[in-house]
Amino acid sequence: MKQKCLVSRCKVLPGKIEFDTSGSHYNQMPIITLPDGNRKEYDKPVSVYEVASDIGPGLAKATIAGEVGGNLYDACDIFNEDVNLRIITSKDDEGVEIIRHSCAHLVGHAVKQLFPKANMVIGPVIENGFYYDIAVEKTFTQEDVQSIEDRMRSLIRQKYDVIKRVMPRSDVIAAFKSRGEEYKLKLIEDMPDEESMGLYYHQEYIDMCRGPHVPNTSFLENFKLTKVSGAYWRGDSKNEVLQRIYGTAWSSKKELNAYLTQLEEAEKRDHRKLGRELDFFHFSEDAPGSIFWHPKGWKVFRQLIDYMRGRQERAGYIEVNTPDVMDRSLWETSGHWFNYRENMFSTQTEDERIFALKPMNCPGSVSMFSQGLKSYRDLPLRMAEFGKVHRYEPSGALHGLMRVRHFTQDDAHIYCTEEQMGQECIDVVALILEIYQDFGFEDIKIKLSTRPENRIGTDEIWDKLEGALSNALDTMGLGYVLFPGEGAFYGPKLEFVLRDAIGRDWQCGTLQVDMNLPERFDIAYVDEHGSRNKRPVMLHRAVLGSLERFIGILIEQYAGAFPAWLAPEHCVVMNITDKQSEFCSHVVELLIEKGFRASADLRNEKVGFKIREHTLQKVPYILVIGDKEVLSESVSVRKLGGEDLGVMRIGDFCDHLGHDIALFGRRSTSVDFE
């Protein structure tokens, strides 16, 4: 993102800039072209800050950095040649990212003042915030984090200038040696080719970085430290544990407050907390990263599979199942052994054969396709599988249902001709979007990830595959964001990102087009001319992705209150006194015969207590039966959320519940894309 600075020393002050122009490379008279086409000519090298000052004092005050040719520069960076310059302020995404990175440095400044013996490690930007890893003997408490935040605010109020110096490698090493910053020295060792490095001075504190950073701490006031946790040095569990302080920062107080409110709501919706309260699942050190599903959670899991099975059958898919453990040779052919081996579980048998638990379902699907001769008349062949996969995730990365080692994918592989590839892509995208709508997700972002540097297959093949995906989206009139170089090693992919009820994004579905695995596995079909060597195109498709993770997302999306069709129980029938127990049991039998998930609560407890308990368990409907209801063969209906639907005859309630269930997840919707 950042190239070397053109100056050896620079310092930005409000309305004033100082720099060293003694070098011969400052003889140019640059022309600076702005985004609106306006050109400014200078008789000497000029900084980003100076250009902003020439435009106006308001812009100068707001300037954080500059952008030239996709590279970001500090406000003090100087140009001695003609460039097209865009001024970066806090209103730009890049400006917010710089604010967050600078806040991480400010954490370092505050920590070193409060805990002088602490060693600073790294402080990168992450989604919506930043963190800093710190080597310190004590374990930080939440009170320590608050003290660090208070010191940061005190430093911000000083509005001191952040000074950048680009120094020779030897001087940087000497600076960190004198300060006893052993981790910074280790990081320098990892960059043997860097002859000079950028240092940023926060008063007496210095940090090493490519930058850019804010010119003054006054830009950093809208921040909040959020939590502290442990983290392994270099992410390796064999290394020492560091203290990781997390924070968030925004361009305005309004945005900061909105995000903090979102965090509070997310905490209430945390699927791990709700999963315990609703008795859905638990985790155990006996099987790290694997889920122990309780009856209620397993009902939801089965509902998801039943729903997906129905949608896929209507869309022309067949369902298969392939082995969980397969020989190493299969993974060598697919390329996974060489590209994904560190994430695979494997074992060696007595006869020295090596087997691996499958991390993906693709090779098994290809093996299934290769059984028997296939004709062009058999294509497209849409082969679905709810396959169990196993991937080794570092223990520190495990996170409830969201990041596990053993999970189920709603995988499908479509085998088609090149001519069919475009329409199949359109059909898959349409199906994915319809399914998301059934779950209440309307705000969906699509990412197109293209060829990575480490890949298999020719450029000609990649051109066809990338074209198939982009043309499908263009035909459907769907916008997308391009991510160059982030495709899988065997093909480009679409990723579908869902925005949930509180504004968070979740990447779920994927669609990948692939002509490489069919080649590597030597699969073919008989074309219309009788040739038996025609390669099919292979589409890899997942809608929900990991079913376990998707359930975690749904728990947080619905705050545990699932729509009736998906809830573990549709309704609970409860009595007021023992006299109604027999009729309650009869009602439950009728409901179950109708296909509803119902149970009775006949405990000798006050009805208000039972209503509250099942409300906390998020049961969609509570049916109360007293003497009047027994006489009229009816039920008093209370809906989750407190809505009293009054007294209904049993048949009328069945109709009502059936209609409610049909509104969610059972629609036979279709989307027409011209």
Identify the CA nearest to 320 among candidates 355, 371, 357. 371
How is residue 671 written in tokens? 């989307």
End-to-end, the C-alpha distance of the chain in Å comes to: 40
Residue 401 Rama label (left phi>0; alpha psi -120 to 50; beta): alpha
How is residue 397 written in tokens? 């990365």
Q: Which residues contact 276 (CB under 8 A, 6 or more apart)?
A: 282
Q: How far apart are CA 130 and CA 97, in angstroms?
A: 9
Q: Does residue 493 have an active-site annotation?
A: yes
Q: What are phi and psi of 587, to 5 degrees?
A: -65, -40
- Give whole-number Cα distances, 615 to 274, 282, 498, 525, 611, in Å: 13, 22, 28, 57, 6
Angle in degrees, 0-180, between the axes of helices 418-438 and 459-476, rounded to the nearest 10: 50
The letter for the amino acid at 438 is: D
Query: Which residue of the set 77, 144, 161, 411 is catalytic?
Result: 411
Cis bond leading into 563, ω under 30°?
no
Query: Which residue of the set 303, 312, 409, 557 is catalytic?
Result: 409
The letter for the amino acid at 116 is: P
In this structure, what DSSP letter does residue 535 have? P
Q: Does residue 371 have an active-site annotation?
A: no
Q: How far apart are CA 315 and CA 668, in angstroms?
A: 11
Q: How far apart are CA 181 and CA 133, in angstroms?
A: 13
Query: Which residue of the set 112, 391, 614, 618 is catalytic?
Result: 391
Query: Which residue of the set 105, 390, 493, 549 is catalytic?
Result: 493
Q: Does residue 101 have an active-site annotation?
A: no
574 and 611 in contact (C-beta within 8 Å)? Answer: yes
214 and 155 in contact (C-beta within 8 Å)? Answer: no
DSSP codes, 313-341: HHTT-EE----SEEEHHHHHHHTHHHHSG
How is residue 257 written in tokens? 């407050």
Query: Which residue of the set 269, 390, 403, 540 is catalytic?
Result: 540
Dihedral over Cα of 576, 580, 582, 588: its sign: negative
Q: Does residue 391 have an active-site annotation?
A: yes
Q: Which residues contact 166 (CB under 8 A, 6 or more apart)?
A: 4, 5, 7, 8, 9, 196, 197, 198, 199
Tokens 């869309």, located at residue: 315
Q: How far apart are CA 90 and CA 103, in angstroms?
A: 14
107 and 245 in contact (C-beta within 8 Å)? Answer: yes
- Say if strands 444-449 and 481-483 run parallel, antiparallel, or are unpaired: parallel
Question: Beta-carbon neighbour count of residue 30 at 10 Å?
Answer: 20
Element (H, E) at 246: strand 241-249
How is residue 19 written in tokens? 């720099």
Tokens 């309780």, located at residue: 294
Q: How far apart are CA 377 and CA 526, in angstroms?
A: 9
* Residues involved in catalysis: 362, 391, 409, 411, 413, 493, 540
